[in-house]
Amino acid sequence: MNRFDWLSEYLARLEDEHVIAHRGDARVLAPAHRLALDPEDWAPAARLAAAMGLRHAGVWADPLDTPGDLDDESEPVIRVRSCLEYAGDYLLLETETPLARPLLASQTPYFPGLDRLERHAHDMTGLVWTNHPDERRWTRHQAWPADRFPLRADFPLGGEHNKRTPADVEYPFTPVLGTGVYEIPVGPVHAGIIEPGHFRFHAMGEDVLKLEERLGYVHKGIEKLAVGRDPNGLARLAGRVSGDSTVAHTWAACQAMERASGCEVPPRALSLRGLMAERERIANHLGDIGAICNDVGFAFAHVQCARLRELWQRRSHALFGHRFMMDAIIPGGVVHDLTTDAFRELRQDHAALHRAIEPLFDVIEDHPSLDDRLIGTGLLSKADARAFGCTGYVGKASGLGFDVRHDHAYPPYDGVRVEVPVQNDGDVAARATVRMDEVRAGLWMLDRLLDALPEGEIHAPLPTPEANAMGLGLIEGWRGEILSFVRFDAHGRIARYFPRDPSWFTWPALERLILGNIVPDFPVCNKSVNGSYSGQDL
C-alpha cells in the first residue's frame, strides 16, 4: 500500500460501516490530512483505525471559549483532535462537543497508550471521556479543585490560591491482594538528582507483580503559559518542555508556527537545525549508555561516556551558546551560524569521537558481566510496543523501525540517507544497542550535513498568520517522535499550544516491561527507557 492509498481505504471503510455520514469535510492541516467527525463517530473511527494497523500519535483538547475563537455566534465548544500515523503519513481526526456538556467516547479501549493523555485532557479542560477504563485524575494532583479546569478562559494564569498545595497522599493506587504480596513505595523524592515521580511496586519475593507510576508532581502549566505569547516567546517556552530535548521541542514548535504562517525557512538554517538535533541525540545517548552500565556496576563505561559527553557539550556551548543549545532555534531559522574555524573544529570532533567510541562500544557489546544483567532483562514485546505507540529507541529495540526523519522526511533529512537501527529482542541490551548504533549513525549524519551545508541566510521573518491559523510540527527527537500543535489567535499570538513528548507512551511501556523481573533490576530497566518526567508533566 503506497503513501496515500491507506487513507482512501480508511475513508471507504468508514463509509461502508456507516461511521461517517459524508466524506465532504476532509481537508489538510499540513502535513496531515484532516477529517471532521460527528461526536458519535469518534470511538468507531478509532476502532477501525486500530483494526487497520494505524498508530496513534496523540490526542488533545482545545477549549474554544474565548471571544474570537469561533467565527459565528455559536455556543462555546471543546474541539478535540486525535493524530494517527500510517506508513509515514498522518491523519488528524477532529470533532467537537459543547462546553456546557463536554462528553466524548474514549479511544483508549482501542489505543491503550492514550490512557494518560485523555485523563490529562480531562484535568485541563473538563472533557469527560465516556467508557474510559480509568477515571482517576492524572495531571491534577491537588493544585486546583476537581470542578476547575486551567485551560478554560476563566481560569487565571497564576491559579486561584497562593497556599501551599496539599500533598497528594490519597491518590487511589490499584491494590494487588494475595498471600505473600507486599508493596514497595519509591519516591516521589529520590536519592539522586532525577525529577520527582512515584513508583508503587507490588512484589512477591523479589519478583515484580505490578508497577504503577504516579507522575506530574511539578506541573509547569506549559499549555496555559503559551496562551497569548508571541512566536519568539513560544519558541523559548517550547525549549523548556524537556530540557534534554530543548532542540527537538523548539524545532517542533517552530515548524508548526512556520507551517501555520507559510514561512519559508532558509535551507542553511534547516541544515544547522539538523546539526544541532544530531548533537543533542548523540549527547543524550552517550549519557544513557554509560548510566545503563553504571546501574549494573560497570562504572568504567559510565566514566568514559560521561567524559566524552562533557567534551561534546562544551563544544556545543562554544558554537551554539549553550551546552544544551537552548534558545538556539528561533521562528524562521537559527541564531548561530558556523564560521570556517567552527566547521573545521566540528570535523575534528566527529573524527575524534568516532575513534573513541569504537573500542568502548566493543567492550560494552561483548562483556560477560553486562550480558548477564542486560540480555533478557526488561522485555518489551513488539505487540506491546505497538499497542502503547512507542517510538524512538524503545520502539526500535522491539522491532518497530519508525523514524520521522526517514518515514516522513523533513528538511534537511529529505536530502540525505537516514540509517534507522532496529533490534528485535526488546530487552535492555537491545535498547542499549540501538543507542550505540544511533551514535554511530549520528556521527555519519553530521558529516553528511556539513558536506551539503548550503550557503545563504540563517533566518527569515515569520509572516503574520491568519486568525485561527494552525500548524503541526513533527520532529524526530532523541527519544522519538515529538508532535507539536499550534493555533494562533486573531492578533498573531498563540491561542493553543500542545507538545506531545514520546515519553507519554514509553512511561506506560515501563510498567509492562518490568513485569516478571526482580525489583533490583528496576533501575536498569528504567534507565534503558529513560522517560522524561518533565516532557509529560506539562
Q: Could you read off the pLDDT of 271-283 as tens digits, one per residue?
A: 999 999 999 999 9
CATH number at residue 89: 3.30.460.80
Q: Quick one: pLDDT at residue 66? A: 77
Q: How far apart are the first and last CA of the chain?
A: 37
- Tens-place pLDDT, residues 18-69: 676 444 455 668 888 899 999 999 999 999 999 999 999 999 999 998 766 6
- How many whole angstroms separate alpha carbon 223 and alpha carbon 227? 7
Nearest to 504 by CA among 392, 383, 380: 392
- Tens-place pLDDT, residues 327-379: 999 999 999 999 999 999 999 999 999 999 999 999 999 999 999 999 999 99
The domain in which residue 429 lies consists of 222-335+342-452+476-536
pLDDT higher than 80, residue 262: yes
Q: Please report, rounded to a whole number, the percentage of residues in the chain having pLDDT higher than 90.
A: 86
Q: Quick one: pLDDT at residue 23? A: 46
Q: Quick one: pLDDT at residue 72? A: 61
The last residue of a domain, from among 95, 130, 165: 130
- How many whole angstroms separate alpha carbon 277 and alpha carbon 248? 6
Residue 230 shares a structural domain with residue 96: no
Nearest to 139 by CA among 129, 152, 126: 126
Residue 387 shares a structural domain with residue 285: yes
Whether 162 is in a domain gets the answer no
Sheet holding 470-477, edge to edge: 470-477, 480-488, 494-500
Whether 190 is in a domain gets the answer no
Whether 136 is in a domain gets the answer no
| Angle in degrees, CA 303, 325, 342, rounded to 5 | 90
State the cell numbers at 48: 477501525
Whether 165 is in a domain gets the answer no
Overall number of domains in the chain: 2
Residue 113 shares a structural domain with residue 236: no
Which residues, at least 6 apart from 344, have a Cβ–Cβ distance to it below 8 Å?
A: none
pLDDT higher than 90, residue 6: no
Q: Quick one: pLDDT at residue 1? A: 55
Q: Quick one: pLDDT at residue 4? A: 66
Whether 433 is in a domain gets the answer yes
Residue 229 shares a structural domain with residue 88: no
Instruction: Say if CB 112 and CB 93 are below 8 A apart.
Output: no
Whether 176 is in a domain gets the answer no
- How many whole angstroms separate alpha carbon 37 and alpha carbon 39? 6
- How many whole angstroms separate alpha carbon 211 and alpha carbon 514? 7
Residue 93 shares a structural domain with residue 226: no
Q: Quick one: pLDDT at residue 24? A: 41
| Three-class DSSP category at 468 | coil
Going by their DSSP bridges, the two strands 77-86 and 198-204 should be labelled as unpaired
Instruction: Say if CB 524 and CB 509 are below 8 A apart.
Output: no
> How many other C-beta atoms lie within 10 A of the C-beta of residue 160?
11
17-31, 91-105, 136-150, 176-190: least confidently modelled range: 17-31
Peptide bond between residue 150 and the one before it cis (omega within 30 degrees of 0) = no
Q: Quick one: pLDDT at residue 337? A: 96
User: What's the whole-number mean pLDDT along residues 511-526?
Assistant: 96
- How many whole angstroms separate alpha carbon 58 and alpha carbon 442? 27
* Confidence category of residue 167, pLDDT binned at 50, 70, 90: confident
State the cell numbers at 141: 494532583
State the cell numbers at 526: 528504567
* Confidence category of residue 16, pLDDT binned at 50, 70, 90: confident
Residue 419 shares a structural domain with residue 523: yes
Whether 186 is in a domain gets the answer no
The last residue of a domain, from among 130, 155, 190: 130
Residue 265 shares a structural domain with residue 399: yes
User: What's the whole-number mean pLDDT along residues 67-85?
Assistant: 82
pLDDT higher than 90, residue 7: no
- Tens-place pLDDT, residues 422-475: 999 999 999 999 999 999 999 999 999 999 999 999 999 999 999 999 999 999
Length of the chain: 538
The last residue of a domain, from among 88, 110, 130: 130
Residue 317 shares a structural domain with residue 430: yes
| E strand or H helix at 331 | none
Instruction: Say if CB 241 and CB 195 are below 8 A apart.
Output: no
Instruction: Say if CB 507 and CB 531 are below 8 A apart.
Output: yes
Whether 504 is in a domain gets the answer yes
- How many whole angstroms separate alpha carbon 62 and alpha carbon 223? 10
| Residue 11 burial (C-beta neighbours within 10 Å; 0-12, 13-18, 19+) | middle
Q: Quick one: pLDDT at residue 487? A: 96
Return the percent helix, strand and coil in the chain, to nearest 5.
40, 20, 40
Query: In 134-210, which residue ranges form alpha helices assigned H by DSSP?
Result: none
